[in-house]
Structure 1
Amino acid sequence: MISPRIAFLDVDGTLIDSSEVVAPSTIEAVRTARANGHLVYLSTGRASVEIYPAIRDIGFDGAISAGGGFAEIGDELVISRTMPEDAVARMVGFYEESGYDFYLQAFDELFPSPGVRGRFATYLQDDQERRGEVRTDLEAVTDADEHPALKAFANVRPLSYTGIAKSVFLAADLMAYDRVSEALSGDFHVITGTVPHMGRGSGEVTLDGVNKGTTVLQLLDMIGLDAASAIGIGDSTNDIEMLQVCGVGIAMANATDVVKAHADEVTTSVREDGVWNAFRRHGLI
């Protein structure tokens, strides 16, 4: 009998690429691994509400979201690592004083500043021009009529200071990351942005100690599996701790050099069957 393994898959740059398409081999890999008795979890910087239905429909055993802020087993929320209200207020105050756009991630809600939707709309338009020829063998995970993020970011309303696990800041100021790090260091974990549309002046903020890796360990303890049985696959800065704590940390070929330096091995890219090849190599399929 094969001992069950557990795999944690990042979304952007791992499960899907920057054009938000998924390779059919990735879908097959996830479903076959689960049919073989292994567990497959999402582990993403997205809030739960930002995980598109087409992604969830692939079929997963659960999800870590908001960069480690929350974790679900099935559809049950089992871990919630949110910020104290005063910490959220301090963070938001700095963004507003600096003139940075931002959004706050609760478990099932987003709270964007007014400029976020416009920034994302511009990115989508630019991305359409960059894509050129569309490959028909890849499956889109978004509705072509209206991008789900545009709907979410259009809902500008009073901010919530409770239930917030993470924020994302977006700025034209290329020094924004350095400024946020300096202002919030000590109490917060600040990393560079991990999704292309955020731009070079962007980043992500959780409480100090809250990241994918520490939440993976908490979740493994709840499930009753050892970290040695875990496989983590990712490509971005917010994946580093996950790659470090899993028994096998795998970087995508499209990962940054910094991320690759923390991985045990490198698989192929999103469009070149990276998840399938990693699962095959480690006996999940």
Structure 2
Amino acid sequence: MSNIKLVAMDIDDTLLDDKKNISLKNKLAIQKALGKGVKVVLSSGRTFNGMIEYLDELGINGDDQFVILDGGGVVQSVSGKIIYQQTLSNAAYRKIDKYVVENNLHYNAVDVQGNTYTSNRDFIDKYTVLQAFENNKGIIIKRPGELPNDFEIVKAILNEDGPKLDAITPEVNRLFGDNHYVVRTDVGFLEIMPQHVNKGNGLLHLAKYLGIGIDDTLAIGDGENDIPMLEQAGVAVVMENADDSIKKLADFVTTNNNESGIATAFEKYVLN
């Protein structure tokens, strides 16, 4: 019989298929798990607004259900109670903005309310537009100096096409990696977050809050920013569509995101 009491899962390329839909099989498996009292936790680099439609579709709601947001920067109940939150200081925000401006790069920053900021006035890149669209809050075009001196952000996201991000990643790690968590979350997204913020620590904080042993947790993901969560969880499930380097962390490689890989994992570990 399964001992899994909490499942933390990535959204993009994990829960969702390539058309950004949740399959019926995935939905039914999740709802069966919820009916058994298992906590099913969406864990994503997205803000809360970027999750709402999927939470609603799955029937995950209320004070006793939880989400891990902003790559682990915020852990909260679906009803909005903050369990854990970490931000980047105003000084760190200014340093990142200075680097972006001096190197003619594109980026956006996200605050604790899920607002999207950028200092790029001449051209707003497609990735920032996508971020703002998911957050459903528009884009605020301001430099850090135009905001209050104590204004802090959850994370900054450098947005460039893949080859350019590949080229600048070593320098970004050299400049910011010692005091921050730097992670590539998708082709056009290189994120800078507080040093100890990641999905794995978010999972640890939530499990402790709920009184659930980490051995009784399961994590499912496919990307680089899922690695800390996969390493922390009692059971690590990796999508078949993940890179081989991430599959090496798996206790089980499930089917891909277009073949209801979530349902396959639930049937093996949660619903048995």
Give your verdict on TM over 0.5: yes
Q: Which residue of 2 aligns with 1:78?
A: 83
Is contact 1:231–1:250 with CA below 8 Å preserved after alignment? Answer: yes
Q: Which residue of 2 aligns with 1:46?
A: 46
- For 2:183, which of 181, 188, 191 is the aligned residue? 191
Secondary structure of the residue aligned to 2:225 is: helix
1-side partners of 2:15 and 2:124: how far apart? 24
Root-mean-square deviation over aligned CA pairs: 2.6
Q: TM-score, normalised by structure 1?
A: 0.81
1:54-98 deviation line (CA, Å, top 9, x unaligned): 212023321001111000123212111112221222122212222
Q: Which residue of 2 aligns with 1:137?
A: none
1-side partners of 2:30 and 2:123: how far apart? 33
Matches within 5 A, 1:77-156: 77-113=82-118, 114=120, 117-120=124-127, 148-149=133-134, 152-156=137-141
Q: Which residue of 1 aligns with 2:71?
A: 67
The AA in structure 2 aligned to 1:185 is G
Q: Check 1:4–1:230 CA distance in 2 against 1; reply closer, same or farther (3 A cut).
A: closer
Q: Which residue of 2 aligns with 1:166?
A: 155
Q: Which residue of 1 aligns with 2:55?
A: 56
1-side partners of 2:203 and 2:41: how far apart? 10
1-side partners of 2:68 and 2:74: how far apart? 6
2-side partners of 1:266 and 1:109: how far apart? 33
Is contact 1:249–1:263 with CA below 8 Å preserved after alignment? Answer: yes
Q: Which residue of 2 aligns with 1:280?
A: 267
The AA in structure 2 aligned to 1:94 is Y
Q: Check 1:110–1:178 CA distance in 2 against 1; reply closer, same or farther (3 A cut).
A: farther
Of 171-180 and 249-258, deviating more is 171-180
Q: TM-score, normalised by structure 2?
A: 0.85
Unpaired segments ≥5 residues, structure 2: none
Is contact 2:128–2:159 with CA below 8 Å preserved after alignment? Answer: no
1:200-230 deviation line (CA, Å, top 9, x unaligned): xx41111112111012111111110000000
Is contact 2:181–2:194 with CA below 8 Å preserved after alignment? Answer: yes
Q: Check 1:89–1:10 CA distance in 2 against 1; reply closer, same or farther (3 A cut).
A: same
- 2:207 pairs with 1:182: no
Q: Which residue of 2 aligns with 1:143?
A: none
Secondary structure of the residue aligned to 2:157 is: strand
Deviation for aligned residue 1:116:
7.6
Is contact 1:105–1:164 with CA below 8 Å preserved after alignment? Answer: yes
Of 205-214 and 271-280, deviating more is 205-214
1-side partners of 2:135 and 2:85: how far apart? 26
The AA in structure 2 aligned to 1:195 is D
Is contact 1:14–1:270 with CA below 8 Å preserved after alignment? Answer: yes
2-side partners of 1:223 and 1:274: how far apart? 26
Q: Which residue of 1 aligns with 2:220?
A: 233
Unpaired segments ≥5 residues, structure 1: 124-146
- 2:242 pairs with 1:222: no
Q: Which residue of 1 aligns with 2:245?
A: 258
1-side partners of 2:212 and 2:230: how far apart? 16
- 2:229 pairs with 1:269: no
